[in-house]
Amino acid sequence: MSAIDAVRARQSYSKVTEDAPTREELLPLIEATATVADHGSMRPWRLIELRGEARERLGAAFAASSGLEGKDAAKLAEKPLRASLLIAVVARIQPSFKVPAWEQEAVASGVAHTLSLLLNEAGWGVFWRTGVHTRSAAVHEMHQLADNEVLLGWLYVGGKPEKSKPEKKKRFDAESVLTAL
């Protein structure tokens, strides 16, 4: 499959099966993400693998940071259980006079998107979840993030459901966003 075909075939899978790639299957994909444009070759990112009980601890952190109680908190705590593998995407902001923080976060975002493309091409369903919990103290602590680290979200990874069919994507008008000076 060509790169353009892989990009065009990409879709989010909000529901995935319990299957998930092993750590050994992930490593070559993660290695390939190191080709993402990275001004200064700082590698201002890291990934955190969450499986099993770690997903339950993340759910508890969601509930703790939400202020919700009872059924609402329990429902929120179940969100990380929607996939058997979550990959937390972390930007590691390093002091630099050349590379501002926003650019370092952009590199980490590029890594996440590239990894989602590689996982999809390898046959896995992927959904990138973000939201207010990425900035909560309870979630920050649960991931053991350093003061210079920012959580950008999680890739929920699992098997593609049998009944899923490719999204019919509306043709995008590239002319509408490409201007010339």
71-87: per-residue pLDDT in tens?
988 998 999 999 999 99
Mean pLDDT estimate for the chain: 92
* Confidence (pLDDT) at 9: 79
In the DSSP assignment, the letter for residue 17 is B
Decide: pTM greater than 0.75.
Answer: yes
Tokens of 68: 């919700």
Structural domains of the chain, with CATH: 3-52+83-161 (3.40.109.10)
Tokens of 11: 């879709």
Are 95 and 169 contacting, i.e. CB atoms less than 8 angstroms apart? no
Closest Cα partner for 29 from 110, 91, 119?
Answer: 119
* Confidence (pLDDT) at 10: 82
| Between 13 and 93, residue with greater pLDDT | 93
Task: Encode pLDDT of 135-180 as tens digits.
Answer: 999 999 999 999 999 999 999 999 998 865 666 667 788 888 888 8
In the DSSP assignment, the letter for residue 133 is G
